[in-house]
Structure 1
Amino acid sequence: MATYVWDYRREYENERADILDAVDTVFRSGRLILGESVRGFEEEFARYHGVRHCVGVDNGTNAVKLGLQALGVGPGDEVVTVSNTAAPTVLAIDAVGAVPVFVDVDPATYLMDPRQVEDAVTERTRCIVPVHLYGQMADLAALMETAGRHGLRILEDCAQAHGARREGRLAGTTGDAGAFSFYPTKVLGAYGDAGAVITSDGTAEGHLRRLRYYGMEDRYYVVRTPGHNARLDEVHAEILRRKLRRLDDYIAARRAVARRYAEGLGGTGLVLPETAPGNEHVFYVYVVRHPERDRILEALREHGFEFNISYPWPVHTMTGFAHLGYGTGDFPVTEAAAREIFSLPMYPSLPQGLQDKVIAVLREILARG
């Protein structure tokens, strides 16, 4: 059965010469680990964001984990976040020994509801991790006010928001640090796992560099624990350097796809994405909503379409997080969304003909009721 949610192959054909040259550049460099490609990407990604530092790591989960550790979050601390996210956000909090504390989300944008964060703060709270979900940013102005009142750190989870802005500021540049994933499907994606943390905090940057490299500053000498083997690979870094130059083009293409969906699916009964005031959406995914989601997905399968749900199970309902003590009914907005949302195909090289077919099939299914 065909799956059309994401496909990199058309983009690869368009960029093949540059991607292969990136690989060849690394292989001919004589340095395969933490060489010029990693340094170059870190400098260029930091410059793109207007921050002082970028530290490349091996994946987005470790970007959150090491970001938390670099900000001083550890065992017994509480970290306020959302259940409407990919599980790795919460796994990273758990991995540093901290306790995830969930709040519900805004029903229109599915982003962290800042009004609930204040009530979630206790004397053990150390950090807030807002998730910039689906391609737009949480309300950082409100969250910064809460963090300031309580002396909390903010680590932005930017895995789905490369290049997104709120009130003119890029994702990852308002809080103490921003964690990014470059998983292949992302707005800026590598050809495998990769990640990074950006910050203007020099102390946090130093911790990050040690954390990703066994706790070492010099080879073979550990100066601080914990330490990890969490280095960004040279090949992925060089590919990301090339693709970073095209990031704004990728975003423009995604927005064009989103506009065609909005034009083609308006008035059908689908709840289409809503951009929060002040946000510049980059449409990592195009999430729609309908109370008869499962019927619609089954009808789509009959037409050869298999679409994704981001996300079908709120984290607090998963058995792997039962130890946190939450249960069904605790976060009704998140749970209602999980029953009704699904994602339409969204990537820069999505053929317009395929998108037109998706729109036509959806309109037919929705018209049948």
Structure 2
Amino acid sequence: MDFNKIIDRHNTGSLKWDFMARYFGKETNELLPMWVSDFDFTCPDAVLLALTQRIEHGVFGYSERPQTYYDSLISWFATRHQLDLKQEWICSIEGVVPGLSLLVQMLSQPGEGVVVQGPYYGSFSKIISLNDRRLLENPLYEDPETGYKMDLIHLETLFRTERPPLMILCNPHNPTGRCWSAQELEQLLQLCETYDVTVLSDEIWADLLLPGERFTSVLHLGERWHSRVISATSASKTFGLSTLRVANFLIPAPVLREQFLRRLDAHGLDVFNALSIEASTAAWQHGAPWLDALLAYLAENRRWFSQQVDDYLPWARIVPAQGTYLLWIDCKALGLDDDQLKWVMVDVAGIAPSMGNSFGSAGNGFIRLNLGCPRTYLEKALEGLKRIAFTSANNIHPISQVEMKK
């Protein structure tokens, strides 16, 4: 498990590496990609072996999920998260976002509102607007110690005035890395009960926690809430399997579950990719040691990079996080608008970040960087960021012209 190993991802169809010119106007020989949230590491050896053996079999007919798929998923959640899943809850589809889109169609009507908490994952906006629903934003607010918090007062106002049937929650939260506590989730669900709101909880980042942190699912809170919560999860984010499309929607309520399964059937989404099933099963069965090593590496990446930012980049402020391998960085001290900030990152620093404004207006002035890469990439990114300095708003200078913290 050598996470320092450099793997050339060029010419593999990688969105992150091969398509930067489409989004940033430059190729990868000019830019370091730190935007798309996937790893630059190989997946666990056990996954590669399972895929190799399945491919060598040579027959790729229609596939279903064997009992080992269910058993390994249930065991994984019991071991990693002390969560007792029931097999009948598990509804599989090719991805979290397609499943959320179907649920938006199923549980709301055109013109109705769906609540998200800004800054929010951009795909949430797409599945709301393209399904002719209205995006209702409940902006998070910052706490200097824990990072972002839910504004429950504003949320209740939204629920009372707009009467939305749905809320999409992200836990751990992308892009900020906030893991919601049991108390916060309980308070949220009490509001949802009062105003008859169903919560779709995107929990795809659940395994990617910082040392000492714990993930609390909406399903941890007990049967009282089962009629109004749905959890979405996948092995893809945890083990770097994003292109092997399969996700699981955990739906305890029989009525909701049957409605969702009927909709999958109606859209022809009840057939499964054999390689996706093999990879996920192998990852859950044998991937724990690999994940533990990965989490230690990512934690050190975060510690090292955060210290460097604190020492050398007075214009940048990293928001505290409990999970994900993402850094949410406040760059507002530069005094730039988002177009200028993108230009500075691309043309001065030579990096391709996720721009904060792609996460809604609450992300203006921020960037998101991906720490899921070898340390040498972070060193290169830091050298680029050091070329950005400021003496006053809208006045960018070479690093040598200003006095840094150290």
Show the counterpart of 2:317: 271
* CA–CA separation in structure 2 for the residues paired with 1:54 and 1:310: 35
The answer on 1:56 being equivalent to 2:92 is yes
Show the counterpart of 1:4: 33
Show the counterpart of 2:166: 127
Query: Could you tell me which of 154, 167, 172 is aligned with 1:116?
Result: 154
Question: Taking structure 1 as reference, are residues 188 and 168 closer, same or farther at Cα in structure 2, changes over 3 Å only?
Answer: same
TM-score by length of 2: 0.66
Kindly state the Cα deviation for residue 57 of structure 1 after the two structures are TM-superposed: 0.9
Kindly state the Cα deviation for residue 31 of structure 1 after the two structures are TM-superposed: 6.3
TM-score by length of 1: 0.72
Kindly state the Cα deviation for residue 89 of structure 1 after the two structures are TM-superposed: 1.4
Query: Could you tell me which of 220, 227, 230 is aligned with 1:177?
Result: 230
CA RMSD of aligned residues (A): 3.6
Give the conservation status (yes or no) of the 8 Å contact 2:354–2:369. Answer: no
Q: What is the CA deviation profile of residues 342-369 of structure 1, one whole-angstrom value per residue up to 9, with x for unaligned ones?
A: 123411xx22233233334434534555
SS at 1:130 equivalent: strand
Question: Taking structure 1 as reference, are residues 95 and 344 closer, same or farther at Cα in structure 2, changes over 3 Å only?
Answer: closer
Show the counterpart of 1:28: 57
* CA–CA separation in structure 1 for the residues paired with 2:56 and 2:250: 27
Query: Could you tell me which of 278, 286, 296 is aligned with 1:238?
Result: 278
Kindly state the Cα deviation for residue 117 of structure 1 after the two structures are TM-superposed: 0.8
Show the counterpart of 2:264: 212
Show the counterpart of 1:190: 241
* CA–CA separation in structure 2 for the residues paired with 1:95 and 1:9: 29
The answer on 1:44 being equivalent to 2:72 is yes
Question: Taking structure 1 as reference, are residues 15 and 151 closer, same or farther at Cα in structure 2, changes over 3 Å only?
Answer: closer
Query: Could you tell me which of 92, 100, 104 is aligned with 2:139?
Result: 104
The aligned length equals: 325
Question: Taking structure 1 as reference, are residues 351 and 15 closer, same or farther at Cα in structure 2, changes over 3 Å only?
Answer: same
Give the conservation status (yes or no) of the 8 Å contact 2:349–2:384. Answer: no
Question: Taking structure 1 as reference, are residues 170 and 194 closer, same or farther at Cα in structure 2, changes over 3 Å only?
Answer: same
State the percentage of identical aligned residues.
12
Kindly state the Cα deviation for residue 312 of structure 1 after the two structures are TM-superposed: 2.4
Give the conservation status (yes or no) of the 8 Å contact 1:80–1:101. Answer: yes
Question: Taking structure 1 as reference, are residues 252 and 56 closer, same or farther at Cα in structure 2, changes over 3 Å only?
Answer: farther
The answer on 1:149 being equivalent to 2:213 is no
Give the conservation status (yes or no) of the 8 Å contact 2:33–2:353. Answer: no
Question: Taking structure 1 as reference, are residues 42 and 257 closer, same or farther at Cα in structure 2, changes over 3 Å only?
Answer: farther
Give the conservation status (yes or no) of the 8 Å contact 1:158–1:179. Answer: yes
Residue type of the partner of 1:155? L
Q: What is the CA deviation profile of residues 195-252 of structure 1, one whole-angstrom value per residue up to 9, with x for unaligned ones?
A: 32123334333333332233xxxxxxxxxxxx44265422122222333424444333
Show the counterpart of 1:137: 179
Show the counterpart of 1:288: 329
Kindly state the Cα deviation for residue 253 of structure 1 after the two structures are TM-superposed: 2.8
Show the counterpart of 2:22: none
Residue type of the partner of 1:341? F
* CA–CA separation in structure 1 for the residues paired with 2:375 and 2:248: 33
Question: Taking structure 1 as reference, are residues 261 and 110 closer, same or farther at Cα in structure 2, changes over 3 Å only?
Answer: same
Residue type of the partner of 1:255? A
Show the counterpart of 1:79: 114
- Structure 1 residues 216-227: aligned runs within 5 Å: 227=267
The answer on 1:365 being equivalent to 2:388 is yes
Q: What is the CA deviation profile of residues 306-346 of structure 1, one whole-angstrom value per residue up to 9, with x for unaligned ones?
A: 2222442455xxxxxxxxxxxxxxxxxx44x32x1112341
Q: What is the CA deviation profile of residues 55-109 of structure 1, one whole-angstrom value per residue up to 9, with x for unaligned ones?
A: 2211222121234466x44445432223532332133335666443222222454
In structure 2, the gaps of 5 or more residues are 1-29, 78-82, 390-398
Structure 1 range deviating more: 255-264 or 18-27: 18-27
Question: Taking structure 1 as reference, are residues 24 and 100 closer, same or farther at Cα in structure 2, changes over 3 Å only?
Answer: same
Give the conservation status (yes or no) of the 8 Å contact 1:161–1:284. Answer: no
Give the conservation status (yes or no) of the 8 Å contact 1:110–1:133. Answer: no
* CA–CA separation in structure 1 for the residues paired with 2:388 and 2:94: 42
* CA–CA separation in structure 1 for the residues paired with 2:319 and 2:69: 32
SS at 2:137 equivalent: strand
Show the counterpart of 2:302: 258
Show the counterpart of 1:329: none
The answer on 1:89 being equivalent to 2:131 is no
Question: Taking structure 1 as reference, are residues 24 and 351 closer, same or farther at Cα in structure 2, changes over 3 Å only?
Answer: same
* CA–CA separation in structure 2 for the residues paired with 1:298 and 1:97: 33
* CA–CA separation in structure 2 for the residues paired with 1:75 and 1:7: 31
Q: What is the CA deviation profile of residues 238-286 of structure 1, one whole-angstrom value per residue up to 9, with x for unaligned ones?
A: 22233342444433332221111222222432111213xxxxx222321
SS at 2:281 equivalent: helix
In structure 1, the gaps of 5 or more residues are 215-226, 276-280, 316-333
Give the conservation status (yes or no) of the 8 Å contact 1:55–1:197. Answer: yes
* CA–CA separation in structure 2 for the residues paired with 1:304 and 1:56: 41
Question: Taking structure 1 as reference, are residues 74 and 42 closer, same or farther at Cα in structure 2, changes over 3 Å only?
Answer: farther
Show the counterpart of 1:65: 101
